[in-house]
Amino acid sequence: MQKRIYGVETEYGIIFTPEGRKTLPVEKAIRFLFEKLITTEHFLNVFLENGARFYQDTGCHPEYATPETASPDDLVIYDRAGERILEELQFYAEEKIREERVPGKLSIFKNNTDFVGNSYGCHENYLVDRDVDFYYLAEQLIPFLVTRQIFAGAGKVFQTQDGVHYCISQRAQHIYQKISGTTTNDRSIINTRDEPHADREKFRRLHVIVGDSNMSEYTNFVKIATCAIVLQMIEDGFINKDFTLRHPVKAIKDISYDATCKRKLRLENGREYSPIEIQREYCEMAARYCESHEVSDQLQRGVREWQYILDSLDSDPDKLDTKIDWVIKRRLLNEYIERRGLEWNDPKIFMIDLQYHDIRRDRGFFYLLERAGRAERLYTDAEIEKAKTEPPQDTRARMRGDFIKLARQNNIQYDLDWSNIRLGNLLNVRVICNNPFETDTEKVTELVRTIQKTNLRRTSLSKLVIQS
């Protein structure tokens, strides 16, 4: 597929730290977050004007799902817009907490693990061609995903029985299967969920649950762009080498513990490759593919950055200390340890690790580094600010976002999901859009005009369905 729909679902960690005996349940803090958005029966499940969805997930985690986007750049911009939206909601929730006279600190983290070992996810979604056999696609993709963490990992200080380790990935320690249907127990590299929210005859949704949440725009872009080009090669039958790992679940953990990225992994055919070598094989195939096939400019840029990253990891990983999350964080921790004369097992190190992921720009360590020019930017604040309220203009999200604005302006009752819009007092007027590339907002605008002219309480409309 040369045109593809992308999406990311990010689950955030949330902590309230009281400053006295009186405390506040996290559940109540989350309700304060949602209170500013809307007050309806769908209190903890809201679609936003930018086309995204914001809701409470299992385990008291606020979750933001980006709108459908048609490029890696847009996906990263809308993912970061979600951080900005949540940051604003956090300010509101903190004010509500003060009104409750509960002294303390509310913190929200874009990470994947808490202090007691629980994990919450960052789930990537890619629209793929239904004609490609799912299990063939998964087997071709898994070696790439297992080894991709060498540039896509967020970094994590882990306390284990044999000491403290700095690991490349947070999520790797919580993966137990290659492929499964669950996202909370026995988590897998690829999830079998088949909810394309689109024409099921043409598309399926590839649900990747193995990746870390990333703070770095650069890391996020390369993570998505490289996966997209590998998917395109698989769909076109271009990959002609077998990198099936003998023990992929064990490999994903072993790689995370090896910051050199050079420890050998055994393939099913008996050969041994390092993670860098496996990634380089995929990358070189992608470069050849770009020479002979039509590939978007963004994916070609992703391949060039991929080559640079692998060369740097092979020779001097510190070249990536403004680009790749786990390298940026490692530099931060090393500097602090050297400056203060600490050991890796000092509690302050674990706190700095966590604080790297704080979404508050005035106190999150990643954002402090970014303002100091020590973390590379790809996008402007203006682009991210616009994405908070404006949906992508080249996907179905445009219809959803524009409708939400019109409905709110005209006090029209509505309900919706990814593929349907229902409106009217009885929610009996419906717009269906099974084409995620559909952008025709005129039909939605015309429908709103009709409703404005017609008092639905007196109309005899029983059911209106507009198919697109």
What are the CB-based long-range contacts (under 8 Å, 24+) for 52-58? 52/78, 52/81, 52/82, 52/85, 52/397, 53/418, 54/82, 54/85, 54/86, 56/30, 57/11, 57/120, 58/184
Smallest Cα–Cα separation from 50: which of 74, 34, 14?
Answer: 74
Collapsing DSSP states into helix, strand and coil, what is residue 219? helix
158 sits in which H/E element: strand 156-160
Beta-sheet strands, E only, within 23-142:
45-47, 53-57, 61-65, 104-109, 122-129
First to last CA, the chain: 21
13 sits in which H/E element: strand 13-18
For residue 276, the one-letter residue type is I
Confirm whether 57 is a catalytic residue.
yes
Catalytic annotation, pick one of 57, 212, 321, 402 = 57
CA distances for 248 relative to 176, 378, 441, angstroms: 10, 33, 45
d(CA 220, CA 387): 17
Annotated catalytic residues are 57
